[in-house]
């Protein structure tokens, strides 16, 4: 069985006008048995359609904040740097990936993108807008090293994430200042932090549409739950061309 080709959404340096990539994303995919390839930053619909058909799975990476106009809000002062071209590219590609039922794994911004493109909204800045459900503030934006695991995530049963991790609670790293405010009605929240913030979502009726708010690419070398996430994603990408059922992917 051939190794699956994984399209990795590019990071973009606005000042240098250059594409770039964190090696952790690539190494984690390669370590799980996939072939990672960084995609071009393009909004050409024909090119994106071709990429959606050509690749076996897609990793939606972290990075820029999403444009609040996408969820019908004014941009607040606490919102970070935007990349409009990336927003458009990823929204087009995600829709095509869903139509083709190709596996997609979202990390940090990737989770936020899935939610917004499918009709949800975001907290533009967690420290200034999140109403906490517990007295202790969860550390959502830790200092390096990012291999450290800093807060708990509680996982619901009977869903793709639970089938992969086989755990009720895990400890994760965390580096983000935005998060899900209103969840898309096309997604299901399958994990939350102790303050109630959504930490993982899946899309029902899709073979593998999964996103997490934390950064398993950073902790991949030291955390077996992170390794399980990438292994399941790459396995799903490998299996999609052979129409293997999800029960076989998570077994």
Q: Which residues are catalytic?
A: 108, 215, 217
Task: Return left, alpha or beta for 108; rule: phi > 0 is left, psi -120 to 50 is alpha, else beta.
Answer: left
User: DSSP class of residue 205?
Assistant: T
User: DSSP class of residue 65?
Assistant: B
Burial per residue of 74-84, b for 16 or more beta-carbon CB atoms within 10 angstroms, e otherwise? eeeeebeebbe
Q: Would you say how long the chain is, in residues?
A: 251
Which pair of structure tokens corresponds to residue 154?
A: 């509680």
Asked whether 6 and 35 are in contact (CB, 8 A), the reply is yes
Task: Return left, alpha or beta for 182; rule: phi > 0 is left, psi -120 to 50 is alpha, else beta.
Answer: beta
Give the CA dihedral 141, 145, 147, 148, nearest 10 degrees: -70
């Amino acid at each position: 069985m051939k190794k699956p080709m994984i399209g990795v959404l590019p990071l973009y340096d606005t000042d240098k006008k250059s594409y770039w990539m964190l090696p952790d994303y690539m190494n984690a995919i390669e370590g799980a048995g996939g072939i990672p390839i960084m995609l071009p930053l393009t909004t050409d619909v024909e090119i994106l359609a071709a990429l959606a058909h050509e690749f076996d799975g897609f990793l939606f990476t972290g990075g820029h904040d999403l444009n609040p106009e996408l969820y019908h809000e004014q941009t607040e002062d606490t919102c970070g740097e935007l990349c409009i071209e990336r927003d458009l590219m990823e929204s087009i590609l995600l829709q095509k990936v869903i139509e083709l039922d190709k596996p997609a794994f979202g990390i940090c911004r990737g989770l936020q993108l899935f939610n917004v493109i499918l009709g949800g909204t975001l907290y533009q800045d967690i420290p200034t807008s999140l109403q906490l459900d517990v007295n202790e503030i969860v550390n959502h934006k830790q200092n390096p090293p990012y291999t450290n695991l800093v807060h708990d995530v509680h996982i619901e049963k009977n869903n793709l994430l639970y089938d992969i991790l086989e755990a009720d609670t895990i400890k994760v790293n965390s580096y983000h200042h935005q998060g899900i405010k209103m969840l898309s009605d096309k997604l299901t929240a399958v994990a939350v932090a102790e303050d109630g913030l959504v930490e993982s979502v899946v899309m029902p009726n899709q073979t593998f549409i999964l996103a997490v708010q934390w950064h398993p690419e950073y902790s991949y070398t030291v955390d077996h739950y992170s390794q399980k996430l990438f292994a399941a994603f790459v396995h799903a990408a490998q299996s999609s061309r052979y129409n293997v059922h999800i029960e076989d992917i998570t077994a």
